[in-house]
Amino acid sequence: MSGSNTIVALDFAGRREAEALADRLGNACGHYKIGLELLTAAGPGLVEELIGRGHEVFLDLKLFEIPNSVAGAVRAAGALGASMVTVHAMGGTGIMSAAVAAAREFPGLRVIALTVVTSMTGSDLADIGIGTSTEEQVLRLARLAVDAGCDGLVASPREAGALRAALGPRPLIVTPGITLAGGEPGEHAARAGTARAAFAAGASHVVVGRAVTRAADPVAALRRVREGG
């Protein structure tokens, strides 16, 4: 499993903890995910620092705003040097098309559409008036995202196979909710899985968090993920 296709989620409350993990992993990790919590706490300087060290950065912003605001945020991500940025497919074609158009200014930036967050179940969808299963909703939003020009999709390991079968080889499929075999799924409990299962189903990238970041030996834990968990 390629190191660049295994993304470590820096789900920390502050810059110091994130930098400490990046120092411990060193060259073992080439790709990090930064979400809203860490970006808000640490600011864009951490993104620039990691990129300056030679790492790729996936900005998991889950943008869901008016198209003009989404386009501005995508340009800001591109200017920082991010390699991926997420938008909410639930926002519809207007938001995703605006993100794709803005990203064209930055050849290294790929727009990834979030389908259904991995913590959600069918009953959660029903609560907000969506009467289909999670897999049906993921596929519906994924097709919408591909039609809007997005480079890829975020979906759980459980939907990776159906997405690959439906959409073919081109779109990136980024799968969070990755655990080690026998490990705790954490906040992704509803639809988690191992890296081996995700890649076998057709995922192009996997995102691993606590299984590595909270491990006594993060380098060894990351190695286990790459070996399939």
Cα torsion angle, 99, 117, 77, 219, sign:
negative
* CA 222 remoteness from chain centre: 17
For residue 67, what are the CA distances in angstroms to 15, 59, 100, 147, 198?
30, 18, 11, 16, 32
For residue 28, what are the CA distances in angstroms to 4, 8, 184, 221?
10, 11, 23, 11
**Single-letter amino acid, residue 163:** L
Tokens of 91: 């926002």
With contact defined as beta carbons under 8 Å apart, do 139 and 162 qualify? yes
58-184-206 Cα angle (round to 5): 25
CA distance 82 to 199: 23
CA distance 189 to 196: 17
- Residues taking part in catalysis: 62
Tokens of 135: 């897999």
CA distance 144 to 87: 12
